């Protein structure tokens, strides 16, 4: 039996962004180097089709984020931001057609290149057009090659830096055997190998790895195999379908001692179905604040604004707003410093972001010519919500942390 956690922090989930120090710089920068009229930021999203349930909230999140920047942060160098999010219908071919249209229309930057597999097809279109892409999508696979994709900037860790605290967290919990449920995607192959080695270093044996088709909603056989192989805990490395994972666990009457999962799923499609599993489910996150402390005024203001705009305090949607802000503000700050929307100048400015404050002093971005990922480390968070914005607890790995119950 696992014991109670000794240290908890409140996690505002995903990467929150914004810069408190830039208003003066924006005001002082003349906009004569930027063409008159709005600055157009664009993206594709699955607003219908197989992934429509995920694309619609994401599009709403970007709308709220753009509205916040326009109303509260003077847009970009005094220019209003115009947002274009178009429906790729969960179809890579449709996404490519839209991306080509964005290139022909000379939009200024891409802030959401959809989800995989659509993203895999649209990114080459943007790169060939020398178009800046700032996104939360991790630069996995070929997108991690800066020489090939030198205009792709992410504020979410790649697979080499995701779930870095998970094996230690599981090992400290007292679990000795874990099973992995994973999407059958080429990008996850190396991640499973790395996690297996990391778990072993922390005294946890990976007794079963079960692959399921991407976006599968059928997990019964795979979860039964993991349980039969003697797993005490489950790592659900699935991008879509966490609600079905929880429901399947109930159906086969298996309650693992501990569940860890990817960052986005417990706050999105899985949250309404988590129920009693909330007590034992953890995920990766980027940072948190100590319980008992209030959120920073800037962050609280943004969360309040997001709740009003989207009409919901659903954690997945709030995470989406904060994520969208990262994408938008990375581009905003670079344009304001460059006093230009020229892609080469904007890219150079982003690569110069070092310990760059976003929203609060605790949250910074670091980019360089060799590193196009702003955040690189994650910690482990409980998915249980706290407060009116349903912010989650974060069980940060520390040397003196007690095993969890």
Cα of first residue to Cα of last residue in the chain, in angstroms, is 7
What the block records as the tokens of 299 is 């962050």
Q: Given the DSSP bridges, would you call strands 379-386 and 39-45 parallel, antiparallel or unpaired?
A: unpaired
* Polymer length in residues for the chain: 405
How far is residue 12 CA from its own chain's centroid?
Answer: 12
* 166-289+379-394 has the same fold as 17-158+296-365: yes
332 sits in which H/E element: helix 315-338
- Residues 270 and 261: their CA atoms lie apart, in Å, by 11
pLDDT of residue 270: 59
pTM for the predicted model, two decimal places: 0.77
- Residues 93 and 121: their CA atoms lie apart, in Å, by 8
What the block records as the tokens of 146 is 């800066």
Cα-Cα-Cα-Cα torsion 199, 200, 203, 206, nearest 10 degrees, comes to 70
Give CATH for domain 17-158+296-365: 3.40.50.2300
207 sits in which H/E element: strand 205-212
243 sits in which H/E element: helix 242-251
What the block records as the tokens of 7 is 């240290």
Q: Are 325 and 333 in contact (CB under 8 A)?
A: no
Q: Can you tell me whether residue 32 is helix, strand or coil?
A: helix
- Residues 182 and 173: their CA atoms lie apart, in Å, by 22
- Residues 110 and 135: their CA atoms lie apart, in Å, by 8
- Residues 235 and 381: their CA atoms lie apart, in Å, by 14
**What's the chain's Rg over C-alpha atoms?**
21
pLDDT of residue 360: 64
The domain limits of the chain are: 17-158+296-365, 166-289+379-394
Give CATH for domain 166-289+379-394: 3.40.50.2300
Kindly list the averaged pLDDT for each block of 10 residues, start to end, along the chain of length 405: 32 36 38 84 91 81 94 96 95 95 97 84 95 82 83 79 82 95 77 91 97 86 98 89 89 93 59 80 67 69 85 70 87 97 96 85 82 76 60 42 37
168 sits in which H/E element: helix 166-173
Cα-Cα-Cα-Cα torsion 53, 55, 56, 57, nearest 10 degrees, comes to 90
The edge-to-edge listing of strands for the beta sheet with 109-113 is 81-87, 39-45, 109-113, 132-135, 152-154
- Residues 295 and 303: their CA atoms lie apart, in Å, by 10
Peptide bond into 117 cis (omega under 30): yes
Q: Are 155 and 330 in contact (CB under 8 A)?
A: yes
């Amino acid at each position: 039996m696992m014991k109670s956690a000794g240290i908890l922090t409140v996690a505002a989930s995903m990467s929150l962004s914004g810069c408190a120090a830039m208003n003066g710089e924006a005001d002082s920068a003349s906009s004569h180097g930027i063409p008159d009229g709005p600055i157009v930021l664009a993206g594709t999203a699955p607003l219908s089709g197989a992934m429509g349930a995920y694309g619609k909230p994401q599009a709403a999140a970007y709308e709220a984020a753009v509205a916040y920047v326009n109303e509260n942060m003077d847009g970009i160098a005094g220019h209003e931001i115009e947002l274009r999010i178009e429906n790729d219908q969960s179809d890579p071919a449709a996404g490519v057609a839209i991306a080509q249209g964005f290139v022909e229309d000379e939009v200024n930057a891409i802030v959401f290149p959809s989800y995989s597999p659509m993203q895999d097809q649209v990114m080459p279109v943007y790169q060939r057009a020398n178009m800046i892409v700032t996104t939360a999508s991790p630069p996995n696979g070929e997108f991690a090659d800066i020489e090939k994709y030198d205009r792709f900037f992410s504020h979410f860790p790649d697979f080499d830096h995701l779930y870095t605290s998970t094996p230690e967290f599981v090992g400290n919990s007292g679990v000795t055997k874990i099973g992995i449920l994973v999407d059958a995607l080429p990008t996850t192959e190396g991640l499973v190998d790395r996690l297996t080695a990391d778990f072993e270093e922390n005294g946890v044996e990976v007794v079963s790895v079960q692959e399921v088709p991407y976006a599968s909603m059928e997990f019964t056989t795979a979860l039964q195999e993991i349980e039969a192989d003697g797993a005490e805990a489950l790592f659900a490395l699935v991008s879509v379908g966490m609600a079905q994972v929880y429901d399947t666990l109930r159906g086969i009457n298996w309650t693992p001692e501990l569940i860890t999962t990817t960052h986005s799923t417990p706050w999105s499609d899985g949250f309404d179905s988590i129920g009693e599993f909330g007590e034992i489910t953890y995920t990766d996150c980027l940072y948190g604040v100590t319980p008992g402390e209030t959120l920073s005024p800037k962050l609280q203001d943004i969360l309040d604004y997001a709740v009003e705009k989207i009409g919901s305090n659903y954690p997945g949607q709030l995470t989406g707003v904060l994520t969208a802000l990262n994408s938008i503000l990375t581009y905003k700050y670079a344009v304001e410093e460059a006093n230009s929307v020229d892609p080469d100048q904007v890219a150079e400015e982003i690569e110069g972001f070092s310990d760059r404050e976003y929203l609060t002093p605790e949250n910074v971005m670091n980019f360089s010519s060799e590193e196009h990922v702003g955040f690189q480390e994650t910690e482990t968070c409980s998915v249980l919500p706290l407060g009116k914005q349903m912010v989650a607890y974060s069980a940060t790995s520390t040397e003196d942390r007690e095993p969890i119950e």
